[in-house]
């Protein structure tokens, strides 16, 4: 993370930290979910009536929906009544007193990533007052964005200050009843990010959520909405490479992107939530719905994700290519080790004419990790001359891990051109020996080979993210060959 993005994020979350967190300090909602809880959330946030109605509609739909079981992941049933849907930040007594109280493995990783102490404490939720003293820099960034008419704020702020925009776009890409987890999120989302890039504006910097979730336990049901008006461009970074400790096991986020004519949105994620210990105990369940709508002609949405964390990942960042000549891209590196399970991929829905999509998925499994690529390419009847290229490569690093590929193709227009390539390889003892024979250590050899394997994806990441991602892979896969 560069100083720039870091500072930017410090800035853009400052108000949010101060405002939102203090506001709810006194509140504790007991576990359980019912309409009253949703009304409470909505009223705490001073939401307009339409939003409450929308939440309730989502909730009522959710009640009727079965818990999905089609993904290739296994976990005990989730008791949704045992979760608190609106919790105040932990009081200092409940938090770790210092970094000595956290899992030494996490601490070790922080050190290896070279994360400064104060950031480590913040990531680990240590009871300290993190002070980032960069108000002047902050202000200048805020001004810079405002000058261009860009809105980048928390979802709560957006609801308060730009209700018409939120109302216009919220739920237009991922409807309130889209799927089980999206419906749950729609009912109870607490916060997230809102980005609006006005017509013709190129966002002058990468927007990042790096520090947002650290503010409080708001990461559990995040809701993010990015709207790029005609001819605008934005690159958005989500997450960070440091493993973050979190009290909430279940995470069900929703991200919606809307690109109008000639607009471009690039959304990059590095996800490294706590994966559980080496026996597969604990760890985050990450059930995410991410979808982008290429609404306008010649619009482009590009997803890049590096997924190394979470015990369970269930995630399919998708593109709906409605505009003619629109482009969708999905670049993914997913790593499962220990007892991690990931079922991830994408959907490319071609609706407009001359739409193009690219899918590059790289899966790496080590230890007892289980990984599935699940992807759908759909060409609707009116999508003349649609093209898709899919490449799904899996690398196995042990004899106990698994890689699975579930590619679905639904082609209803004969003019479409679809290509699918898939490979599965075991990281070669002979490759490692070859490197060693040239003087390269085993550790460096593994990282070299793995980074080579992931290169097509890493090169789509913004520079500083790419460097971090490579480092993360090295650390994640240390001692993984077996």
Return the number of the residue (319 or 334) whose C-beta is nearest another protein.
334
Cα separation, 52 vs 174, whole angstroms: 17
Return the number of the residue (130 or 448) whose C-beta is nearest another protein.
448
Return the number of the residue (405 or 447) whose C-beta is nearest another protein.
447
Return the number of the residue (151 or 448) whose C-beta is nearest another protein.
448
Please check whether residue 278 is in contact with residue 338, taking contact to mean a CB–CB distance below 8 angstroms.
yes
Return the number of the residue (272 or 447) whose C-beta is nearest another protein.
447
Instruction: Provide, rounded to whole angstroms, the least separation between the CB of residue 448 and another protein.
Output: 6
Instruction: Provide, rounded to whole angstroms, the least separation between the CB of residue 436 and another protein.
Output: 4
Coil/strand/helix, residue 116: coil
Can you give the binding site for another protein, defined by CB under 8 A? 428-431, 433-442, 444, 448-449, 451-456
Please check whether residue 346 is in contact with residue 317, taking contact to mean a CB–CB distance below 8 angstroms.
yes
**Of the candidates 255, 257, 263, 258, which has an alpha carbon nearest to the alpha carbon of residue 239?**
255
Residue entry with tokens 């003892």: 429
Coil/strand/helix, residue 432: helix
Instruction: Provide, rounded to whole angstroms, the least separation between the CB of residue 342 and another protein.
Output: 21
Instruction: Provide, rounded to whole angstroms, the least separation between the CB of residue 473 and another protein.
Output: 12
Dig out the tokens for 164 from the structure.
């018409």
Return the number of the residue (228 or 457) whose C-beta is nearest another protein.
457
Coil/strand/helix, residue 434: helix
Which residues pair with residue 418 across a beta bridge?
388
Q: What's the Cα-to-Cα distance from 281 to each of 273, 380, 442, rounded to whole Å?
A: 14, 43, 29
Return the number of the residue (435 or 467) whose C-beta is nearest another protein.
435
Return the number of the residue (56 or 475) whose C-beta is nearest another protein.
475
Cα separation, 443 vs 431, whole angstroms: 13
Return the number of the residue (133 or 430) whose C-beta is nearest another protein.
430
Please check whether residue 362 is in contact with residue 393, taking contact to mean a CB–CB distance below 8 angstroms.
yes
Return the number of the residue (216 or 306) whose C-beta is nearest another protein.
306
Cα separation, 154 vs 245, whole angstroms: 22
Q: Determine the longest span between alpha carbons in the chain, in angstroms.
A: 69
Instruction: Provide, rounded to whole angstroms, the least separation between the CB of residue 435 and another protein.
Output: 8
- Kindly state the DSSP code that residue 152 receives in the 8-state scheme: E
Instruction: Provide, rounded to whole angstroms, the least separation between the CB of residue 449 and another protein.
Output: 6
**Of the candidates 330, 255, 324, 331, which has an alpha carbon nearest to the alpha carbon of residue 294?**
324
| Residue 59 burial (C-beta neighbours within 10 Å; 0-12, 13-18, 19+) | buried
Instruction: Provide, rounded to whole angstroms, the least separation between the CB of residue 425 and another protein.
Output: 9
Can you give the three-state secondary structure of 248-280, one letter per residue?
CCEECCEEEEEECCCCEEEEEEEECECCCCCCC
Instruction: Provide, rounded to whole angstroms, the least separation between the CB of residue 389 and another protein.
Output: 17
Which distant-in-sequence residues (6+ apart) come within 8 Å of 48 by Cβ?
159, 163, 167
């Amino acid at each position: 993370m560069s100083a720039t993005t870091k500072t930017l994020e410090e800035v853009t979350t400052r108000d949010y930290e101060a405002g939102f967190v203090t506001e709810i300090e006194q509140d504790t909602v007991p576990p359980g979910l019912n309409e009253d809880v949703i009304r409470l959330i909505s009223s705490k946030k001073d939401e307009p009536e339409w939003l409450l109605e929308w939440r309730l509609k989502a909730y009522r739909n959710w009640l009727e929906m079965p818990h999905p079981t089609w993904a290739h992941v296994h976990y005990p049933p989730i008791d949704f009544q045992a979760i608190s849907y609106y919790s105040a930040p932990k009081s200092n007594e409940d938090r770790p007193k210092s970094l000595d109280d956290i899992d030494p493995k996490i601490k070790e990783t922080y050190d290896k990533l070279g994360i400064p102490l104060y950031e480590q404490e913040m990531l680990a939720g240590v009871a300290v007052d993190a002070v980032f003293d960069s108000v002047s820099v902050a202000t200048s960034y805020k001004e810079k964005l405002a000058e261009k008419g860009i809105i980048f704020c928390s979802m709560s702020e957006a609801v308060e200050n730009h209700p018409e925009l939120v109302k216009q776009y919220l739920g237009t890409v991922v409807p309130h009843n889209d799927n089980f987890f999206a419906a749950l999120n729609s009912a109870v989302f607490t916060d997230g990010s809102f980005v609006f890039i006005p017509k013709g504006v190129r966002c002058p910097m990468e927007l990042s959520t790096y520090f947002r979730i650290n503010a409080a336990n708001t990461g559990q049901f995040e809701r993010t909405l990015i709207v790029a008006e005609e001819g605008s461009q934005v690159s958005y970074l989500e997450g960070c490479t440091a493993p973050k400790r979190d009290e909430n096991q279940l995470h069900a986020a929703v991200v919606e992107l809307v690109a109008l004519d000639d607009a471009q949105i690039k959304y990059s994620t590095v996800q490294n939530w706590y994966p559980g210990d080496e026996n597969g105990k604990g760890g985050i369940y990450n059930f995410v719905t991410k979808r982008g709508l290429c609404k306008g002609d010649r619009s482009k949405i590009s997803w890049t994700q590096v997924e190394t964390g979470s015990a369970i990942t269930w995630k399919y960042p998708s593109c709906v290519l409605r505009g003619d000549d629109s482009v969708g891209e999905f670049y993914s590196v997913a790593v499962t080790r220990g007892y991690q399970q990931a079922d991830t991929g994408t959907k490319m829905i071609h609706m407009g004419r001359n739409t193009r999509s690219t899918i590059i998925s790289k899966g790496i499994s080590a230890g007892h990790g289980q990984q599935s690529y699940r992807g759908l390419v759909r060409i609707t009847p009116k999508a003349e001359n649609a093209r898709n290229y899919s490449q799904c490569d899996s690398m196995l690093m042990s004899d106990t891990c698994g890689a699975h590929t579930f590619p679905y193709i639904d082609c209803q227009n004969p003019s479409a051109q679809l290509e699918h390539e898939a490979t599965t390889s075991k990281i070669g003892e002979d490759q490692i020996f070859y490197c060693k024979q040239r003087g390269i250590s085993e550790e460096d050899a593994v990282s070299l080979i793995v980074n080579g394997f992931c290169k097509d994806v890493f090169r789509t990441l913004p520079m500083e993210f790419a460097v971090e991602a490579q480092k993360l892979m090295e650390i994640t896969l240390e001692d993984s060959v077996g």
